[in-house]
Amino acid sequence: MGQSIVLYDGVCNLCNGVVAFTLRRNRKASLKYAALQSDAGRAILRRCGLESIPTDTFIFVENGKPYVKSTAALRLAKHLDGGWRFAYCFIIIPRFVRDSVYTFVAKNRYRWFGRREACLLMRPEYRERFLN
């Protein structure tokens, strides 16, 4: 659990887009990924005590500690290459404000971005970064 793990909704097009975006911007390959619906994702949720969390919640586990919603996204940004890591400075915005925006997007993500029937299969060069 000492690694940094992105837990995402595997059938959400927006979530899969975020995964693809971060894969390309984490050249050190320090991030691992698991869909919330996968066996690995469910096992990580259990270890973190989050087994009942809804799939509209983005989770980032860093050094064994889970972060959710906007805090998860901002902590993830610190692991990206280039100027993206500076997005973490938005952590100064009160969490209730950040999470309100997050919740609004999460509630509308399927309508705005669509969903797929199954989790996205990534390119072969990224396969080892996904937990099964």
| 63-86 confidence digits (pLDDT tens) | 999 999 999 999 999 999 999 999
Element (H, E) at 87: none
Contacts of 96 (CB under 8 A, 6+ apart): none
Q: What gap in Å lies between CA 64 and CA 62, rounded to an integer?
A: 5
Residue 2, pLDDT > 80, answer no
Mean pLDDT (the chain, rounded): 90
At residue 4's C-alpha, the angle toward residues 70 and 42, to 5°, is 80
**Hey, which bits of 1-132 come out as E strands?**
4-8, 31-35, 59-62, 65-68
Residue 121, pLDDT > 70, answer no
11 band by pLDDT with thresholds 50, 70 and 90:
confident
Q: For residue 122, what pLDDT is reported?
A: 64
What is the percentage of the chain residues whose pLDDT exceeds 70?
93
Mean pLDDT on 119-130: 74
pTM for this entry: 0.89
Q: For residue 120, what pLDDT is reported?
A: 58
Mean pLDDT on 28-50: 93
Backbone dihedral angles phi then psi of residue 15, each to the nearest 5 degrees: -60, -45
Q: For residue 7, what pLDDT is reported?
A: 96
